[in-house]
Structure 1
Amino acid sequence: MLNVYNVLINRFGNELKILMEVPLDEISSVVGDSIANSILLIREGKVEIEPGYDGVYGKPVFFGEAKTDKKRVDGLEGYLR
C-alpha cells in the first residue's frame, strides 16, 4: 500500500490535492479503479472513521468492512467527556 501512496504523491503532489482536486479518471489511470472509487467515497463523505485508542491509529472504514469491537470503543466514552 505504501507503494501506491508513493506513486500518487510522486505523480500528483500532496495528499490534500489528491483527495480533493485531482480528477478521478487521472487517479484511476495511475493506480486503478479501486483506489479511485475509495477517493470518490471520501469526497462524497461516505466513509466512516473508526476512532483510534491506546496508541492505535484510527482508520477509515470502506465498503462495509467490519468494525473493531464496539465494547472496546464504547468503554472509553466515560473518559472522553
Structure 2
Amino acid sequence: MKKLDAALVSVVLAAGTALFAGAAAAAYNAKVRQACAGDYQNFCSQYSPDSTELRRCMESNRKGLTHTCVTALIDAGEVPAKYLKKK
C-alpha cells in the first residue's frame, strides 16, 4: 500500500510541476507578444507567431527592436542579456 501511495504522489507532483511550467511559459509568451507587437508589425509580420521563421526574423532585426521588446525577451529567457548593450 505504501508503494502505491508513493507512486501516486510522484505522479501528482510531476503533473503539477508540468502544469506550473506550462503556465509560466504561457505568461512569458503573452508578455513578449505584448511588448514586441510593434516590432513584429514593423519587421516580421509575414511570419506566423511561434514559428521558426519569426524567431529568425526577429534575430536578424535585433538591432532595430525596441528596448521594451528586448527587455521582455531577456526576461522570458529567449535572448541573453547582452542584447541590451548599446547598438
TM-score (norm 1): 0.28
Name the larger-Rg structure. Answer: 2
**Structure with more strand by fraction:** 1
**Structure with more helix by fraction:** 2
